[in-house]
Amino acid sequence: MNVKPATRSETMIVAASRALKNDDVCFVGIGAPSAACNLARLTHAPDIVLIYESGTIGTRPNVLPLSIGDGELCDTALTTVPVPEMFSYWLQGGRISIGFLGGAQIDRYANLNTTVIGPYDAPKVRLPGGGGAPEIGAHCKQTFITMALNRRTFVDQLPFITSFGHGRGGDHRRSLGLTTAGPTRVITDMCILEPEAESKELTVTALYEGVTRDDVTRECGWPVRFADTLATLPAPSEQELRVLRDLQERTRIAHGAVAA
């Protein structure tokens, strides 16, 4: 039986999962990051160690968690430690190779906003806040960000910086004493962006099949740059789509309308 073609969201999740390696220790965010990390675990990276903010270490969920407090995480974890221990020993101790984050908005230097849309004192929308994301962005050896590309989310200037990426660019991150690499890859539903070596401005390095430069330019909130040589990422394989869709269907059955 032929598998239906991938949606843009599925393509993004598959591309994000492919960025992970079998020996990674990954601090996982809820949503698309969680789907990508568990897809990697169920396909090419069976030994990846997944850590969630609630203190679950080495968790292997059968369905995607609704939140960091979902019992599925604790039930399937190798161990669960107190949150202060997880942050101080695992995260600040430099034991996590990849932090996987999402956000409401991002700017050209991969700073994230999950706090407010509009002025802080009188916002149009008040968002959930940072949680552990600022610490994840500061202390993981590197950070991957997964977000759909559109002008509402990829903005020229953030109203509030919740999670520090590369600040104003250049050596701003290191000048503040941050020794980790910060965001090294932004995975969207149209392309992949990476910080340019010197300026740290996000630059498109790969397009998905069927996506053009004009498509990306139209959806980005700043004049986006493109690498001199652009890669074209292969479409998701039938196996990747089957595994992802099976995972999402199990989640739908387990959580019903809430998961949808």
**Residues involved in catalysis:** 53
Q: How far is CA 216 from CA 43, 150, 155, 189, 206, in A?
A: 29, 9, 13, 10, 11
Phi-psi sector, 81: left (phi>0), alpha (psi -120 to 50), beta = beta
Task: List residues bridging with 50 in a β-sheet.
Answer: 26
CA 150/CA 135 separation, integer angstroms: 26
164: nearest Cα among 193, 200, 120: 200
Residues 6 or more apart whose Cβ sits within 8 Å of residue 218: none
CA 25/CA 13 separation, integer angstroms: 18
CA 82/CA 210 separation, integer angstroms: 46
Is the distance from CB of 215 to CB of 149 less than 8 angstroms? no
CA 86/CA 1 separation, integer angstroms: 45
Indicate the DSSP class of residue 132. Answer: T
CA 100/CA 26 separation, integer angstroms: 7
Residues 6 or more apart whose Cβ sits within 8 Å of residue 63: 72, 247, 250, 251, 254, 255
